[in-house]
């Protein structure tokens, strides 16, 4: 049916329009008729109805249609600035950590290469050390410390003049780690000393235990004495 004044009043078109219950075609026809007959808007009291609805929205604490939607707490400017600052700080920290990790990895790689190559430094001096071993039990306290600073050639003289054996087996262990060397049939000199010479850079820093055993004619090993030395780099 054609949209006219009687049709609008009889079918409560204005009320249905405000309530949003008009179909799309009816909405378009009603809006077109109001544009062509603006006096009908005042006659129907639509302005008063709209004002009453707006007052109701305001009383209910609901934002008016033309007002900006209230922002959530995470959308507010101070929160956004704080989040940006935190993100920037985290980025700087991450970059610093990456730099430190790269430097650490490079240092570890260099140490691995050095350990694989095990370079020997030339001895710049000779250090003669006379050692008096313990005859009762091993000692964890070094009797002497060699090395430190420049590499040294240590001339170790272990006093074994009191032993009834002339041939010995010397076992060298690094304290709390493992065996370094076993020297068989080491003879004492005319002074009764067992002599060993070593480059201090050939051994890592730490404490080294020397276990000295006398060898019988049948190559049986009899415990005789113990002594410890320290290596410093």
Instruction: Let me know whether 145 and 179 are in one domain.
Output: yes
Q: Residue 6, exposed/middle/buried by CB under 10 A (0-12, 13-18, 19+)? A: exposed
Residue 68 domain-assigned? no
Decide if 231 contacts 203 (C-beta within 8 A). Answer: yes
Q: Is the pLDDT confidence value at 224 over 90?
A: yes
Residues 149 and 189 placed together within one structural domain of the fold: yes
pTM (2 d.p.): 0.49
- Sheet (strand 221-232) strand order: 144-147, 221-232, 206-215, 167-174, 178-187
Residues 134 and 102 placed together within one structural domain of the fold:
no
Q: CA angle at residue 52 from 48 to 58, to 5 degrees? A: 145
- 136/195 same-domain check: yes
Indicate if 35 and 86 belong to the same structural domain: no
d(CA 45, CA 62): 24
- Residue 49 is part of which domain span? 5-59
Do 13 and 107 belong together in one domain?
Answer: no
203 lies in some domain? yes
Q: Write the pLDDT tens digit of every residue in 63-84.
A: 666 555 666 666 677 777 888 8
Whether residue 186 sits in one domain with residue 155: yes
- Domain count across the chain: 3
Same-domain pairing of 168 and 227: yes
For 113, list phi and psi in degrees, rounded to 5. Answer: -65, -40
- 81 domain residue, yes or no: yes
Q: Residue 85 falls within a domain, yes or no? A: yes
Same domain (yes/no): 38, 10: yes
Q: Are both 10 and 78 inside the same structural domain?
A: no
Confidence at 33, pLDDT banded by 50, 70, 90: confident
DSSP 104-170: HHHHHHHHHHHHHH-PPPPP-EEEEEEE--BSSS--SS-SEEEESSS-EEEEEEEE-TTSS-SEEEE
Render pLDDT for 169-191 as a digit per residue (tens, 0 to 9).
999 999 888 888 899 998 998 88
Burial per residue of 120-155, b for 16 or more beta-carbon CB atoms within 10 angstroms, e otherwise: eeebeeeeebebebeeeebeeebbeebbeeebbbbe
Query: Is residue 51's pLDDT more than 60?
Result: yes
């Amino acid at each position: 049916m054609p949209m006219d004044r009687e049709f609008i009043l009889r079918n409560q078109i204005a009320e249905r329009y405000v309530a949003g219950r008009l179909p799309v075609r009816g909405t378009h026809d009603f809006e077109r008729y109001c544009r062509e007959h603006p006096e009908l808007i005042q006659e129907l009291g639509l302005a008063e109805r709209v004002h009453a609805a707006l007052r109701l929205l305001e009383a209910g604490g609901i934002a008016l249609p033309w007002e900006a939607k209230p922002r959530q707490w995470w959308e507010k400017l101070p929160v956004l600035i704080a989040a940006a600052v935190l993100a920037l700080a985290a980025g700087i920290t991450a970059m610093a950590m990456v730099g430190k990790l790269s430097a650490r990895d490079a240092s570890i790689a260099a140490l691995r290469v050095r350990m694989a190559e095990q370079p020997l430094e030339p001895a710049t001096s000779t250090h003669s050390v006379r050692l008096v071993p313990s005859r009762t039990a091993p000692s964890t306290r070094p009797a002497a410390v060699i090395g430190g600073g420049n590499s040294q050639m240590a001339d170790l003289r272990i006093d074994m003049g009191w032993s009834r054996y002339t041939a010995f087996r010397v076992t060298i262990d690094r304290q709390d780690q493992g065996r370094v060397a076993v020297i068989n049939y080491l003879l004492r000199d005319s002074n009764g000393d067992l002599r060993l010479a070593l480059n201090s850079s050939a051994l890592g820093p730490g404490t080294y235990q020397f276990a000295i055993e006398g060898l019988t004619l049948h190559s049986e090993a009899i415990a005789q004495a113990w002594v410890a030395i320290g290596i410093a780099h």
